[in-house]
Structure 1
Amino acid sequence: MSKELNILAFAGSTRRASFNKAMLAAAVAGAEDAGAEVTCIDLRNYPLPLYNGDLEAAEGLSDNVLKLKNLFDGHDGLLIASPEYNSAYSALLKNVFDWVSRPAAADEPMLNSFAGKQAVIMSTSPGAMGGLRGLYALRELLMNMMVQVDPAMMALGNAMEEFDETGGMINGEKELAVRDLGARLVRNLGGN
């Protein structure tokens, strides 16, 4: 690779035993194997109030918002695993995106932390569809924020049968497919 590729990876869940965090780990391994530097964060470590314009006007952007903005700004691509809640992505993801989209300075361009980034999205759930409906909604949101979302999103159903007690994937073929999502993002960013 001619330049170092940096990917920010996170799941839209705060549960410790989240199936989406386990799925994300396999995609992260694929991106690292393809040569990218991956920063994997847990959004539970960046607590935020629900977005409120009055709160923003009164207090500005919190330290956690600024930390997240710096992370988004410092990475070329996004690996996102999103649980599905009532046919949509999680409220956690929406709230993070709402805060991170806010400018930190008057001269910051709109959607500066998102525009032009590449993303790969995935989901897993105990249901048969694996969170597929939520991924379509997430894709639309990200594209509206000027993120280029790879069409090869993946929804893995029956999650309780796909992961072992340590969070490892049981089916080797499916694990390779998830790892390829990470490698695919690296290729989209101009890597191997």
Structure 2
Amino acid sequence: MTDGQTAGPRILVFAGSVKKTSINARLADSAQNALTELGAAVTRVSLADYDMPLVNEDLKNNEGIPDAAMDLGRVVAAHDGVFIASPEYNASIPPLVKNTVDWISLIREIDGQAAKPWQGRYVALGAASNGKLGGIRSLYQLRAVMMAVGCQVITEQCAVGGASDALGADGTIADERTMALLGRTCKSLVDHCKRHALSV
């Protein structure tokens, strides 16, 4: 996990894939760069560092929330916003993303204090695919899931088609349309987080 050092809204960024050559990890890199340039304090995590079993009510009741879910829940709760770069699997949400979201949604207490980590967080969604649609079909479903767990999902989103060419391996963006789309999404996320901070 890497923590941003700049002042500004605290925004968590992660990719919904742990594949070493993931194009969604590239999108997360690009989002991290864009958010940092907008003045956000960015924390980037990899879901590979938070290995969780499949959600199981018997496991939760008998052993409690897994440590990895609690650890990531603490990270989520410490941020104002979240950017998720998620792949599309069979026109839907990848099991890794859904399982992660579901475990964290079951948390009701952190370190002795009542807490629902997702509640009230501003969330921006992105997807990258080598197909023409850019993973957008999965974003409709992921939007509904994130709203169901209490997040404020911003209208703007970023679906990147032909991602292997559009996204550089170092997080740079070669395609102007993609750069503009991601820029609008990241700016909206930062602006929403700032307005919320001023209103509380």
Fold agreement, TM-score > 0.5: yes
> What residue number does 1:117 align with?
121
User: Is the contact made by 2:156 and 2:184 (CA closer than 8 Å) also made in structure 1?
Assistant: no
Letter in 2 for 1:108: A
Residues 13-67 of structure 1: per-residue CA shift (max 9 Å, x gap): 0111111111111111121111111101000111111111111112112221111
Q: How does 1:88-127 map to 2 (within 5 A)?
A: 88-105=92-109, 108=114, 112-127=116-131
Structure 1 residue 41 and structure 2 residue 45: aligned? yes
The Cα of 1:166 is off from its aligned counterpart by: 4.7
Separation in 1, partners of 2:73, 2:171:
29
* Gap change, CA 1:57 and 1:146, over 3 Å in 2: same
Question: Which residue among 142, 156, 160 is the counterpart of 1:152?
Answer: 156
User: Is the contact made by 2:87 and 2:129 (CA closer than 8 Å) also made in structure 1?
Assistant: yes
> What residue number does 2:65 align with?
61
> What residue number does 2:80 align with?
76
Question: Which residue among 24, 28, 34 is the counterpart of 2:32?
Answer: 28
* Gap change, CA 1:108 and 1:183, over 3 Å in 2: same
Tell me: higher relative CO, structure 1 or 2? Use CA pairs within 8 A at least 6 residues apart.
Answer: 1
* Gap change, CA 1:26 and 1:129, over 3 Å in 2: same
Deviates more, 1:27-36 or 1:81-90: 27-36
The Cα of 1:90 is off from its aligned counterpart by: 1.0
Letter in 2 for 1:126: N
Question: Which residue among 8, 11, 29 is the counterpart of 1:7?
Answer: 11
Separation in 1, partners of 2:10, 2:36:
10
Separation in 2, partners of 1:29, 1:160:
18
> What residue number does 2:178 align with?
174
Q: Secondary structure at the match of 2:84?
A: strand
* Gap change, CA 1:67 and 1:130, over 3 Å in 2: same
Where does the alignment leave 5 or more consecutive residues of structure 2 unmatched?
1-6, 196-200
User: Is the contact made by 1:12 and 1:83 (CA closer than 8 Å) also made in structure 2?
Assistant: yes
Residues 72-127 of structure 1: per-residue CA shift (max 9 Å, x gap): 11011010111000111211111001111112549735xx1111111110101011
User: Is the contact made by 1:26 and 1:179 (CA closer than 8 Å) also made in structure 2?
Assistant: no
Residues 132-175 of structure 1: per-residue CA shift (max 9 Å, x gap): 10000000111111211111111111122223455543224422
Separation in 2, partners of 1:161, 1:10:
21
Where does the alignment leave 5 or more consecutive residues of structure 1 unmatched?
none
User: Is the contact made by 2:33 and 2:171 (CA closer than 8 Å) also made in structure 1?
Assistant: no
* Gap change, CA 1:163 and 1:34, over 3 Å in 2: closer
Separation in 2, partners of 1:95, 1:63:
14
> What residue number does 1:183 align with?
187
User: Is the contact made by 1:31 and 1:183 (CA closer than 8 Å) also made in structure 2?
Assistant: yes
Structure having the higher strand fraction is 2
Separation in 2, partners of 1:165, 1:7:
22
Q: Identity across aligned pairs (percent)?
A: 32
